[in-house]
Structure 1
Amino acid sequence: MARPRNKEDLLKAAEEKRELLTDSHREVVKRIEQFTNEQLFLEKVFPAVGGSVLGSYFVSSTSGHYNWAMKKLKAHQKNCK
């Protein structure tokens, strides 16, 4: 995508990114909902995740990642002032 040249381009690009984020989040939630709580949080249900539980991967790719991103955005905003 080309770099926005004016406010309208910037707002359009932001809306497109928001839609991508929303779609991606919905897809992850659909995948999470396919599992029971036991499948997500009991150890050794899915050997492929090693010594961890599947739920921890979903946490790190959703709320954990969102928290990390918000901290980065806030720090960037603070540096821009």
Structure 2
Amino acid sequence: MVKPKTKETLIEQAHRQFNQMFNMLEGLSSEDKMTAFSFDKPKSDQAAHWTRDKNLRDIYIHLYEWHKLLINWLTTNLNNQSSAFLPNAYNWKTYGDMNMMFWEKHQITSYDHAEKMLKNSHREVMDLIANLDEKGLFEKGFYDWSGTTSIGSYCVSATCSHYEWAMNKMKRHRKKVLS
């Protein structure tokens, strides 16, 4: 899928992919939605998330926590208070540890609550994006606090790219439970 380069495309694609994620679960029972993953990770992809995420709830929580990172970063910086995208204890070399921390933090979160949190955070992210102008979203260096990357890139990463990642795992789960 081509990464969005306009506000309109970002909004359209993020909503479409978000809805696709949930639509692909139609026909699954509540038990199927809450059951642990039982598919094998792809041999060609050794990324940590294949062993970290054990069920749909874990995927929802991962997406939710990355939404919250984006929301906090945008809100804080747009209000003229300096904030890094990642929490102080992490950087782009150690964000896998942060993802594991998110996973551990939510092991007591229920599937239903995780789904509700994700739907709310998606709505919040989309409202933030809708209130940004095109230039502010996609012009590199428009905001000095975004470094050499546009904030639109961060938005794409926390929405479209992450939803595509999630759907890859969800498709495997759906196939396995319906077989």
Q: TM-score, normalised by structure 1?
A: 0.70
CA shift at 1:59, angstroms? 0.5
Q: What is the RMSD computed on CA atoms of the aligned residues?
A: 2.3
Residue of 10, 17, 23 corresponding to 2:120: 23
Q: Distance in 1 between matches of 2:127 and 2:112?
A: 23
Query: Which is greater in Rg?
Result: 1
Which runs of 5 or more residues in structure 1 are unaligned? Answer: 1-5
Distance in 1, matches of 2:114 and 2:154, equals 23
Q: What is the CA deviation profile of residues 8-28 of structure 1, one whole-angstrom value per residue up to 9, with x for unaligned ones?
A: xx5xx5443332221111000
1:56 matches 2:153: yes
Q: State the shift of 1:78 in Å.
A: 5.0
Q: SS at 1:62's partner residue? A: helix
Distance 2:166 2:152 in 1: 20
With CA pairs under 8 Å and 6+ residues apart, which has the higher RCO, 1 or 2? 2
| Mapped pair 1:34 → 2:114 | no
Match of 2:142 among 19, 37, 45: 45
Percent of aligned positions with the same letter in both sequences?
35
Q: CA deviation at 1:70?
A: 0.8
C-alpha separation in 2, matches of 1:31 and 1:71: 26
